[in-house]
Amino acid sequence: MSLSPLAGTPAPPEILVDLARLERAYYERRPAMDDPTQRVSFGTSGHRGSSLRGSFNEAHILAVTQAICDYRRRQRTDGPLYLGKDTHALSGPAQRSALEVLAANGIETIIQRADGVTPTPVISHAILVFNRGRTAGLADGIVVTPSHNPPEDGGIKYNPPHGGPADIDATGWIERRANELLEGGNTGIRRIPFERAIRVTSTHAQDFVLPYVRDLRNVVDMDAIRDARLTLAVDPLGGAAQPYWEPINHVYGLEIAVVNPRLDPRFAFMTVDHDGAIRMDCSSPYAMAGLVALRDRYRVAFGNDPDADRHGIVTPSAGLLNPNHYLAVAIHYLLTHRPRWPARAAVGKTLVSSSMIDRVVQRLGRGLYESPVGFKWFVPGLFAGALCFGGEESAGASFLRHDGTVWTTDKDGPIMALLAAEITARTGRDPGEHYRTLTAEFGAPYSTRVDAPATPEQKARLQQLSPETLTAATLAGEPILATLTRAPANDAPLGGLKVVTASGWFAARPSGTENVYKIYAESFKDEGHLRAILTEAQAIVDGAS
């Protein structure tokens, strides 16, 4: 992965997005349906694109929202729909377009009052709280967000009544229906003007902030954080969590310093990511350079991406923690500090997350639920309490309430941030110090991810691999113990390959948007062993695909 000379430096004016041009393209540009990149495509978390590329325009949002309305009718979901948006420039126009369709379809829709923004986990939380104890009239939700993507991007995703990301059956149906509508010129869409949509009796503006904030005490030990009087800081990275931190301070008597309170849809305050793009990735040391520079001023500091479904943790001992490192620490702490959690509840992780998690979970006598990439795989388990924790290597996770019941079924960046403060408050050691303790017991893993070129044909073959197609018996000098193309947890296809030895592994997955495949690799030996795994991994994948 090449490093831009701009990485970690303030964004120069010449790379800032032209907001007027972006919004004009949203309303004026029509997708070319013979171009696959301009069709509706639900990835691991909704449809994403940019109006400038013809992949996220008003036509897309109208079609997706009508498809969701049609899907709700098929599923007989007839409760309220919670509609949230983040701070990306296209999120406001897209929310307005969506509301025009929802109102015309007579769907009771609840939005944040005063045209406010709403984090993804808050929508999940609101759905679950409303649906608790109900068997009919269930709520669901839509979140308008491209997560941590660059400022010119937009996104939209659907959360059914279970509160989490829709599964592949739901997204597949919505995607097909939306493209049918687009191919028909969107003539099958019901829509009324926004001025009417915002005033119809089915549209309601409520406050999402305080209900979520006041409930935090039931998932994080807020009293311990207050009593420890830690110096804490947060950088919301100009995202939807920004309006939540002062209410958190007020309700719980905390003094979390909001070191960057700015809201700017250009995200001009950001430092540039590894590739020279503005990207609000709170797991990137380049995007988080501003907060990392303050590491010695605060006992713990943290950040969230624009829809607050991801977390980044900064400590004096470690700087910005690798997401895998913090997941391992969080899991170890929670499994030893949540006595009311169900004893049989397992820990969910993706197959490309660190094996440090496997070792921690095994040491504590818990089950491991190893899934394909995508938080949607954890939703049923979190909802039912069969999983006490679900986490992804990309810095997204959620966990149960103190009493062992569901909190959110989507990734929740604020609770993972506050958990870092709880860990420090209750143990006297920050998460970076805890990770060093784990490596002393289990060994220190060396890990990386690289992108390798691949033709569309190679990517397609990689997705269809079976263990029988691989002939290699060893990897980096060790016998291969497992060759996986389906997840151990649920037998779902990985869309790629994972190869495991006693002290290392690699996983390869084709990119959904670029002609590359991604190789994740980890070694519990040293950097040389990691390099050997990477070299042989590419040879194995190239030979098989």
Q: How many CB atoms lie within 10 A of CB 374?
A: 18
The first and second tokens of residue 493, run together, are 């296809």
Q: Is 147 a known active-site residue?
A: yes
* Residues forming a β-bridge with 204: 110
- Pick the catalytic residue from 91, 147, 283, 503: 147
Dihedral over Cα of 95, 116, 10, 316: its sign: negative
Contact 71, 160 (CB under 8 A): no
Reduced to 3 states (helix: H, G, I; strand: E, B; else coil), residue 539 is helix
Q: At what angle do helices 355-363 and 431-442 cross, to 10 degrees?
A: 80
What is the rounded CA–CA span in Å between residue 541 and residue 186? 42
Instruction: Kindly provide the residue ranges of all beta strands, DSSP E only, lying in 330-456, ordered along the sequence.
Output: 346-350, 368-371, 387-392, 396-399, 446-453
CB-based burial label for 136 (10 Å; 0-12, 13-18, 19+): exposed
Name the one residue in this structure whose structure tokens are 């389906």.
486
What is the rounded CA–CA span in Å between residue 193 and residue 242? 30
What is the rounded CA–CA span in Å between residue 216 and residue 225? 12
Distances, alpha carbon 229 to alpha carbons 256, 311, 314, 348, in Å: 10, 22, 18, 32
Rg (CA), the chain: 23
Distances, alpha carbon 152 to alpha carbons 26, 57, 113, 119, in Å: 11, 12, 25, 19
Phi/psi at 350 (5° precision): -85, 160
Q: What are the residue numbers of the active site?
A: 147
